[in-house]
Amino acid sequence: MIIAEELTKHYGKATALDHVSFTIEPGESVALWGANGAGKTTTLRCLLGVHSFEGALVVNGINVRQQAKAVRAVIGYVPQEAVFYDLTVYETLRFYARLKKTAPDRIPAVLEQVQLVPHSAKRVSMLSGGMKQRLALAAALLADPPILVLDEPTANLDVAAQREFIHTIQVLNQAGKTIVFSSHRLDEVIMLASRVLILENGSLVQTCPPTELAEKLGLQRWLRIWVAVQHQDSMLRVLREQGFAYTPNGRSAYVKVTASSKIAPLRSLELAHIPVEDFDLVEDELVPPRGLNHD
Ligand code: ATP
């Protein structure tokens, strides 16, 4: 669906993208991950054909350099924060339909896809941030493009609105749309991406499944285990003997676990006949959990 070969972008003397190559298959949902300035937006803007670049870029069989306009017909683009005139939701989509030369009879279907049907008569100024982003998504869906490109689409949303937006994108992906998005939020990359491209200073340094991203970033899962006071020392002894990395914390201990062996410490304690009072899985925390020292 998308083939980038040696994609390179210079801004004056600065190199924003440095020989980046990747392939995205139809139906994939790919996240671009990287610090500020890593080159995520530049990559997305190259895909959209709004930037000059070096290297080769083919999107849905279209050579982007030669047919920049044609490529924008097969990509729906959702920016970080869309700016709209103060029309109603329906009028906004009619405006975009005219702009994109698509039939306005698509509007009810896209309103349905983004769950804005009950809000179609509201003015944009009355919408929440989450609704505005869904309106931007609706505009991107008007021409029913096979590809959606989203640049940090939930960066300004609260958690509830973010979840709702991500769910809508998941449904679109399951219906066959190819998704390419940039994100700073690990939880959303894990929920939405089938693959992550990690950019660093304009270079593609790694491609990995989203589940591996947390560990690559030094983020970690911890199992917090509580035992009665009289079992505290024995718990720590067993954890130590079994080779677990742990941090005592009052009556509990944080034990480092992996995605595939989350309950291994509980098994060891059970075998040693140490009764566990409670446990909790703490995911994606910085190492060590805030305020604790790790051995
Ligand atoms: P962010 O998360 O901050 O949006 P990003 O990963 O999207 O970061 P880009 O916006 O692609 O990064 O920027 C990559 C590099 O190119 C940065 O060093 C940035 O300063 C530079 N850059 C981006 N746009 C321009 C521009 N129009 N003119 C000059 N330099 C630019």
Identify whether residues 132 and 174 lie together within a single domain: yes
> Is the pLDDT higher at 75 or at 286?
75
Q: Which residue has the higher pLDDT, 289 or 101?
A: 101
Tens-digit pLDDT profile for residues 36-56 = 889 999 999 999 999 899 999
Question: Out of 24-33, 97-106, 268-277, 280-289, which region has the weakest mean confidence (pLDDT)?
Answer: 280-289
Least trusted range by pLDDT, from 8-22, 132-146, 179-193, 248-262 = 248-262
Whether 162 and 190 share a structural domain: yes
Structure tokens at 78: 């959702």
Residues 6+ apart with CB under 8 A from 40: 32, 33, 34, 151, 152, 182, 199
- Provide the pLDDT for residue 294: 41
**Both 46 and 191 in a single domain?**
yes
pLDDT value of residue 218: 67
Q: CA 20 to CA 147: how far, in whole Å?
A: 20
User: Would you say the CB of residue 42 lies under 6 angstroms from ligand 1?
Assistant: yes
pLDDT value, residue 120: 94
pLDDT recorded at residue 292: 44
Using most ligand atoms within 8 A of CB, pick from 15, 36, 46 the residue to mutate for ligand 1: 36
Which of these three, 157, 184, 216, is where a domain ends? 216
Q: pLDDT at position 170, please?
A: 95
Mutation probe of ligand 1 site: the residue of 42, 149, 180, 201 with most atoms within 8 A of C-beta: 42
150 CA to middle of ligand 1, Å? 16
Q: How confident is the model at residue 194 (pLDDT cuts 50, 70, 90)?
A: very high
Q: How sure is the predictor about 289, in pLDDT bands with cuts at 50, 70 and 90?
A: low
Q: Ligand 1 center to residue 66 CA distance, Å?
A: 24
The sheet carrying 178-183 orders its strands as 75-78, 147-151, 178-183, 29-33, 195-200, 203-208
Q: Give the span between the Cα atoms of 143 and 98, in whole angstroms.
A: 11
Q: Is 16 exposed, middle or buried (0-12, 13-18, 19+ CB in 10 A)?
A: buried
Residue 115 belongs to some domain of the structure? yes
Atom of ligand 1 nearest to the CA of 12: 29
Cα 202 to ligand 1 centroid, rounded to whole Å: 9
Q: Are 35 and 125 contained in the same domain?
A: yes
Judgement on whether residues 44 and 188 belong to the same structural domain of the protein:
yes
Burial of 165 (0-12, 13-18, 19+ CB in 10 A): buried
Determine contact, residues 94/107, Cβ cutoff 8 Å: yes
In this model, does residue 136 exceed pLDDT 60? yes
Question: Which are the contacts of 62, defined by CB distance < 8 A and separation ≥ 6?
Answer: 70, 71, 74
Q: Which residues contact 124 (CB under 8 A, 6 or more apart)?
A: 84, 85, 86, 87, 88, 89, 92, 132, 135
Residue 295 lies in a domain: no
Give 276 Cα–ligand 1 centroid separation in angstroms. Answer: 50
Residue range(s) defining the domain that contains residue 89: 2-216
- What lies within 8 Å, CB to CB, of 182 at 6+ separation is 31, 32, 33, 34, 40, 41, 43, 44, 150, 151, 152
Q: What is the mean pLDDT of residues 149-174?
A: 91
Residue 83 in domain: yes
- CB count within 10 Å of CB 111 equals 21
Q: Is residue 293 part of a domain?
A: no
Residue 207's pLDDT is 93
User: Looking at residue 80, what is its pLDDT?
Assistant: 87
Same structural domain, 235 and 199: no
In which band, very low, low, confident or very high, does the pLDDT at 285 lie, cut at 50, 70 and 90? low
CATH number at residue 280: 3.30.70.980
Q: Which residues contact 264 (CB under 8 A, 6 or more apart)?
A: 244, 257
Calculate the average pLDDT of the chain: 90
pLDDT tens sequence across 247-268 = 888 788 989 887 678 889 999 9
Q: Same domain, yes or no, for 39 and 143? A: yes
**Domains identified in the chain, total number:** 2
Residue 78 near residue 133 (C-beta atoms within 8 A):
yes
Looking at per-residue pLDDT, the higher value among 2 and 155 belongs to 2
Note whether residue 226 is domain-resident. Answer: yes
Domain termination site, one of 216, 243, 263: 216
- Give the Å distance between the CA of 201 and the centre of ligand 1: 10
| In-domain check, residue 290 | no
CATH code where residue 56 lies: 3.40.50.300
Name the pTM for this structure: 0.78
Give the span between the Cα atoms of 80 and 220, in whole angstroms. Answer: 28
The answer on pLDDT for 112 being more than 60 is yes
User: Which long-range contacts link 209-212 to residues 24+ away (Cβ below 8 Å)?
Assistant: 210/31, 211/259
Q: Given the CA of residue 182, which atom of ligand 1 is nearest to it? A: 7
Instruction: Determine if ligand 1 sits within 6 Å of the CB of residue 13.
Output: no
Pocket of ligand 1 contains residue 38 by CB under 6 Å:
yes
